[in-house]
Amino acid sequence: MTYEELKTKILKANPRANIQLLDNCHLIADEIHSTQKRLSGDPYMSHALEVANILSELKMDSSTISAGLLHDVLEDSSMTFEELKEKIGEEVATLVEGVTKLTFKAKPEKEIRQADNFRKILLAMSKDIRVIVVKLADRLHNMRTLQYLSEAKRRENAEETLHIYAPLAHRLGVGRIKWELEDLSMKYLFPAEYEEIGDKIAVKRAQREKLVEEAKTLLETKLKENNINASILGRAKHFYSIFQKMKRLNKDFEEIYDITALRIVVSTLEECYIVLGVIHAIFKPIPGQFDDYIAMPKTNRYQSLHTNVIGPNGLPLEIQIRTKEMNETAEFGVAAHWYYKEGGQRDKKSENKIEWLRHLIEWMTEVKDSKEFMDLLKMDLFGDEVFVFTPKGDVFSLPAGASAVDFAYAVHSSLGDKIMGAKINNKMSPIRTELKTGDIVEIITSSGSKPNPDWLKFVRTNKAKQKIRHFLKMKEEEEEKKGRKG
Ligand code: MN
């Protein structure tokens, strides 16, 4: 893809795109990468263009696409962040810097590494989610061109992709990237199974295509009778999802019956259910194979109706029904957010962002499997918040303005009751110091320390307030008792 081709595509998708910014960024990237080549032999710039192209297909805004063009320049040249900022402005330069700094460790099997990866994701997210989207686009193009790497590198990258990037894409709801990352990883990690599924799908392709066509024609007529305007698409199932299903159900390929799939996209929510009724009137539903993700969306906001039916000629058929909007959420996830924002002001506090952060935190806690941790996090999540870490990499969410005392109580009440001092980013600091996102806080305790009424003037969390009041009340009662005795 040439830059001119990319530009035409971007302008077609979004006539308001900031072409001057894109031109500028392209010029800088082109100059820096001019002498570099990829292992494929292609000029390095081809990678930058493809990453930008993936971002434009996700309908990201001009700043993010520009960051895609420039995403490797800080790593691959002596140019500094300040110099880049000077040339293209703070917004894109900050995105590029974020992408450069965000690196993950492969095979996060050890809890500490897992925590480290999540901490980086969370930090990048709380600053600007677009950094993660660029990172995903970068990884996707690298996975598409993985064949040029050594066998060992291929495996390492595929494992990292399957363990970190695909789940991340899933949690952010970017289905389009998730599926492709999974299939590409599978190709290198389970080559025999990948080939086998590919072969088996190919064998009955003609039969399945015929089935899809027949079902489509039938449904189109019926939906027209009901005055419903729908687009009906045949849908290729992804190899990795078939593979997962075979493993999960311990079944052979032949026993997986929903290989053939249709998607029906309509305008309104009501129409989704009307379409469902129409389908079940024509085709016999398979019992226990219906899911209503519209009434009960998945945590990544995915919405759709799923039903499995006996289609034409007695062959099973999987059908998804959703609105255009739900379809966009399913394909683009968090990325869909910026599509509508181009040209307008970016709302940093948007509910959307908080919601994605919440999902990521839920993901973290699923992995860490600690309910108490989750309860603590939920506490003050909807206000302005800061994310603070223990020296071990556990993250705590606190309201803005929270102090080391709030943090100590959030970790454990005994820590709060005995706090004597705090090391913030390795520096001894007063316990009333306001914490910032990314701070690493170590609480110093002493058996002689106890809560002070003055703390109530600066603590922000309910937990800290309650615990301090509780302690003071106990002390008062104790003194009263003593007073009566004496
Ligand atoms: Mn790259």
Percent of the chain that is helix, strand, coil (3-state, to 5) = 60, 15, 25
**Does residue 23 have a pLDDT over 50?**
yes
Write the secondary structure of 175-191 as one string of H (helix), E (strand) and C (coil): HHHHHHHHHHHHHHHCH
- Residue pair 336/64 in contact (Cβ under 8 Å)? The answer is no
SS3 149: coil
**Does residue 322 have a pLDDT over 80?**
yes
For residue 361 the two structure tokens come to 């935190």
SS3 117: helix
Q: Which residue has better confidence, 388 or 28?
A: 28
User: Of the listed 5, 31, 42, 75, which one is catalytic?
Assistant: 75
Q: How confident is the model at residue 106 (pLDDT cuts 50, 70, 90)?
A: low
**Does residue 73 have a pLDDT over 50?**
yes
Which ranges of 128-174 would DSSP assign to H, the alpha helix? 130-144, 151-160, 166-171
**Does residue 372 have a pLDDT over 60?**
no
Ligand 1 centroid distance, CA of 395 (Å): 28
255 in catalytic set: no
Report the alpha-carbon distance of residue 78 to residue 89 in Å, rounded. Answer: 18
Ligand 1 centroid distance, CA of 71 (Å): 6
For residue 282 the two structure tokens come to 């024509």
SS3 128: coil
Ligand 1 centroid distance, CA of 48 (Å): 7
Ligand 1 centroid distance, CA of 114 (Å): 23
Q: Which of 295, 297, 294, 220 is nearest to 264 (CA)?
A: 220
pLDDT digits (tens, 9 = 90+) for 184-223: 999 999 999 999 999 988 877 888 888 889 999 999 999 9
Q: What are phi and psi of 172, to 5 degrees?
A: -85, 0
Q: What is the mean pLDDT of the chain?
A: 85
Q: How confident is the model at residue 107 (pLDDT cuts 50, 70, 90)?
A: low
Q: What is the mean pLDDT of residues 427-447?
A: 90
Ligand 1 centroid distance, CA of 17 (Å): 23
Q: Which residue has better confidence, 59 or 144?
A: 144
195 in catalytic set: no
The residues placing their C-beta within 5 Å of ligand 1, an ion, are: 72, 138
Ligand 1 centroid distance, CA of 33 (Å): 11
Q: How confident is the model at residue 230 (pLDDT cuts 50, 70, 90)?
A: very high
For residue 308, what pLDDT is reported? 92
**Does residue 325 have a pLDDT over 60?**
yes
**Does residue 29 have a pLDDT over 60?**
yes
Ligand 1 centroid distance, CA of 91 (Å): 19
For residue 226, what pLDDT is reported? 92
Ligand 1 centroid distance, CA of 34 (Å): 15
User: Of the listed 23, 30, 57, 76, which one is catalytic?
Assistant: 76
Percent of the chain with pLDDT over 90: 54
Q: What is the mean pLDDT of residues 272-290?
A: 92
Q: Which residue has better confidence, 431 or 313?
A: 431
For residue 366, what pLDDT is reported? 52
What pTM was estimated for this model as a whole? 0.71
Residue 145 neighbours by CB distance under 10 Å:
16
**Does residue 345 have a pLDDT over 80?**
no
**Does residue 183 have a pLDDT over 70?**
yes
**Does residue 290 have a pLDDT over 60?**
yes
Least confident of 118-122, 197-201, 327-331, 358-362: 358-362
